[in-house]
Structure 1
């Protein structure tokens, strides 16, 4: 009986998800990426496998749409549905396997057992690596990356690596919060190198896939193939190395690959959510290797950069976003590029389905849930309390006249966050900090913003505070 009920629900699960996606996405996007997907649902409706035509489309769907698909399925079912992406059996497959893990709110979904995969198909040999074999997303280039002060140094370093691999900045370690463009930069490096060296052996991979490859090599006793694959690369691009934490054998194998690649002057580019010495449960000798090249940070994009991103991405979708609307959205969506893209999709969908031109009132209506959450959660008072708790001082110290460094410093940080995360003016912020003049607030904002660029520890503290405040 339970299976019959599940089957009944399952029959409408993917069609219902498609209906929702069709409402949210521009028609061209939906027809190109979502409509061609073939869905296979487990008998108990606990797992949905989406078959994709080729590796490039698989990676693109995983990056752009998989999270949203998982969220819609969970909303329809009332509980998490395991989502897997696989290459359709009739198409070429990558030798490392066909399934990509998807991160959902319930955590990382591990790839299924080999017995659950579509039947393997022999890989056709090609005289030179292409985007399918390298796993590069050809849409993520230096040309499509909006430059600003938040990413200028990281972009310059990545461009240097792409133009002269194996020389300076090896390894290149890029760190920053979620959605700031770390993955985009890595793909841009690979795509630029392929333009000048089509024969280059390049691989983009997420750290979780490296872990999975190590496990498979143990199970199948194929470590020679594993080493041949990783040790012979010209460029290794590996995302989110913090996932190596507490995985001793994986760390050992990555250390060996790292040493082998550097010995042959191949280049390694890595990303993480924190700087090398901030990584937890990673062997010291590996951390020292991470820190031996160039370490650069990606910051949340500043206002002008957020405006440019919105206008450019709207144009890429065939829509024109007026500058005043872009400024309105950019002022309210501050944390990262991914949230900007989500806000833009909502506005474009709202505009198209209501057949209205893009304007500030339309944007305010389309983003009303987002704006109400922000207005409810982030206030100057909340910032003061959060910062006071973090630095172990009293909330009353935020608006007192006390000036020792142990109090003045957190107070300046709270002023900086108040300017960054709320819509309050400088005089309004000053008033909430004990009636201070707006020039005092401006000095604090400029001081902390400048030091953030120079001091790694302060930058990391601010990231923690921002994520705490944003929930």
Structure 2
């Protein structure tokens, strides 16, 4: 890299960083400050010729994020350190076609060069008469209800470290549905962590900003039911034609397409049509794309075209924010120690946390009593006594991951490193001990492992725990944690 260009770029970064630090009263900029170094550490200036500055970025996400959040500040920095009339270009490395020496470039706020993708032939007569699978047969006028929940807006979505990345991308999509690099957006994570909420939030924002756009939310089960009904009536083509009309398609729990070959075929062609025509697709799943079993490779490859974003279980700070947000909307104020106690008691997911909060609100309303820490503990104890803990494989995985300080992706990976392989064997062992799942089912949930691998893991932990003090300690402590 040219030495003068390096100096100029460092001056630009210093200017931007100083201006972020100076904006103490600007909440949005203060949030951006936390991600500034992480973002720009991966951006490099590669050339400055005739007032054309080219920045090398790892992916389209960096380009989109810079333009959505830092463009004004970056423009000011370039004007100050280079001069007026600077044109900014991006080199996006992940879009580099095979055999091409230089990466594809795009102008600031310009239109990117399309990345070549494999296209498949759409079914014949794809533009025939349209029927709406959501309404009673025979109705002529087509009306599409978005099926969106008004409460699931961005205003009611609490951001934290567990979901900040996914939330940032979702907001970017809502501004320009179908026009960002995040298509499809694939949200994945455990039960009740807020995937559905975020999908609805995008849909609601799009409907508000673009009333003419057709937005549709549905579960994969509903999609499957509709397809089966259409197939029985020999109306698969009309079924597909209906989905051509959608501008933003949000499908929940896409993993349930697993094993449904004919439905997958139909979904594949619908996906391709929408994607090719610049329509936005948002999918949620409890598994990452590569971990969904018995689904066509061509569909998995399309899941990877856009962006996959994991939403994790909320950490303590995020749980606390959720509690404050929820209670403040209901006019209830808790002391700091009460908030800490409540946030520390419910650790699994947002849905369970909201359930406990609602119970606290109900207690306060019914008994017309101000909540003290003692009363709060009593309320939660009653809730716990009346609720039977559901011990399933995802819950066991979460407990094991938290105990060993590892991520779920590591637990489900194929690595044989002992620091991962041992927790994985323990998770398999506890899945067999605490659930009625078969060896095959446990293998599926553990990243697609063979049933013989699960049998071996269970036998190994059972035998080794009798002679190895460390393993015996792990089994004892994890058993207590899973039961508590």
TM-score tier by shorter-chain length is: 0.5 to 0.7
| Partner secondary structure for residue 418 of structure 2 | helix
Taking structure 1 as reference, are residues 265 and 344 closer, same or farther at Cα in structure 2, changes over 3 Å only?
same
Match of 2:173 in 1: 161
Taking structure 1 as reference, are residues 377 and 255 closer, same or farther at Cα in structure 2, changes over 3 Å only?
closer
| Partner secondary structure for residue 342 of structure 2 | helix
Match of 1:336 in 2: 349
- Structure 1, residues 38-88: CA drift from partner, whole Å, max 9, x if none? xxxxxxxxxxxxxxxxxxxxxxxxxxxxxxxxxxxxxxxxxxxxxxxxxxx
Alignment partners' CA distance in 2, 1:321 and 1:228 = 53
Structure 1 residue 374 displacement after superposition: 10
Structure 1 residue 406 displacement after superposition: 2.1
Match of 1:43 in 2: none
The one of 158, 177, 187 equivalent to 1:146 is 158
Moved more, 243-252 or 366-375: 366-375
Structure 1 residue 372 displacement after superposition: 6.3
Match of 2:133 in 1: 96
Alpha-carbon contact 1:343-1:367 (below 8 Å) kept: yes
The structure having more radius of gyration, on CA atoms, is 2
Alpha-carbon contact 1:307-1:323 (below 8 Å) kept: no
Taking structure 1 as reference, are residues 322 and 173 closer, same or farther at Cα in structure 2, changes over 3 Å only?
same
| Partner secondary structure for residue 136 of structure 1 | coil
Moved more, 362-371 or 134-143: 362-371
Taking structure 1 as reference, are residues 192 and 217 closer, same or farther at Cα in structure 2, changes over 3 Å only?
same
Structure 1 residue 316 displacement after superposition: 2.3
Match of 1:295 in 2: 308
The one of 333, 337, 346 equivalent to 1:320 is 333
Taking structure 1 as reference, are residues 183 and 470 closer, same or farther at Cα in structure 2, changes over 3 Å only?
farther
Structure 1 residue 307 displacement after superposition: 0.9
Taking structure 1 as reference, are residues 411 and 290 closer, same or farther at Cα in structure 2, changes over 3 Å only?
closer
Alignment partners' CA distance in 1, 2:213 and 2:483 = 42
Match of 1:190 in 2: 203
Alpha-carbon contact 1:351-1:362 (below 8 Å) kept: no
| Partner secondary structure for residue 225 of structure 2 | helix
2:292 is the alignment partner of 1:279: yes
The one of 192, 214, 223 equivalent to 2:236 is 223
Taking structure 1 as reference, are residues 248 and 341 closer, same or farther at Cα in structure 2, changes over 3 Å only?
same
2:306 is the alignment partner of 1:309: no
Moved more, 352-361 or 165-174: 352-361
Alignment partners' CA distance in 1, 2:343 and 2:308 = 28
Alpha-carbon contact 1:325-1:359 (below 8 Å) kept: yes
Alignment partners' CA distance in 2, 1:324 and 1:256 = 54
Alignment partners' CA distance in 1, 2:251 and 2:274 = 13
Alpha-carbon contact 2:132-2:239 (below 8 Å) kept: no
Structure 1 residue 361 displacement after superposition: 1.3
Alpha-carbon contact 2:133-2:239 (below 8 Å) kept: no
Structure 1 residue 138 displacement after superposition: 1.8
TM-score, structure 2 as length reference: 0.53
| Partner secondary structure for residue 153 of structure 1 | helix
Alignment partners' CA distance in 1, 2:214 and 2:250 = 11
2:213 is the alignment partner of 1:176: no
Alignment partners' CA distance in 2, 1:262 and 1:193 = 17
Alignment partners' CA distance in 1, 2:333 and 2:348 = 23
Structure 1 residue 120 displacement after superposition: 7.7
Structure 1 residue 97 displacement after superposition: 4.0
Superposed CA RMSD:
3.7
| Partner secondary structure for residue 328 of structure 1 | helix
Alignment partners' CA distance in 2, 1:364 and 1:221 = 59
Structure 1 residue 226 displacement after superposition: 1.0
Structure 1 residue 219 displacement after superposition: 1.7
Alignment of 1:201-240 (within 5 A): 201-240=214-253
2:482 is the alignment partner of 1:469: yes
The one of 418, 421, 430 equivalent to 1:406 is 418
TM-score, structure 1 as length reference: 0.54
Taking structure 1 as reference, are residues 191 and 245 closer, same or farther at Cα in structure 2, changes over 3 Å only?
same
- Structure 1, residues 363-398: CA drift from partner, whole Å, max 9, x if none? 2111114556999999xxxx99x859x99xxxxxxx
Alignment partners' CA distance in 2, 1:369 and 1:339 = 15
Structure 1 residue 169 displacement after superposition: 0.8
| Partner secondary structure for residue 285 of structure 1 | helix
Alignment partners' CA distance in 2, 1:235 and 1:245 = 23
Structure 1 residue 412 displacement after superposition: 13
Alignment partners' CA distance in 2, 1:356 and 1:123 = 56
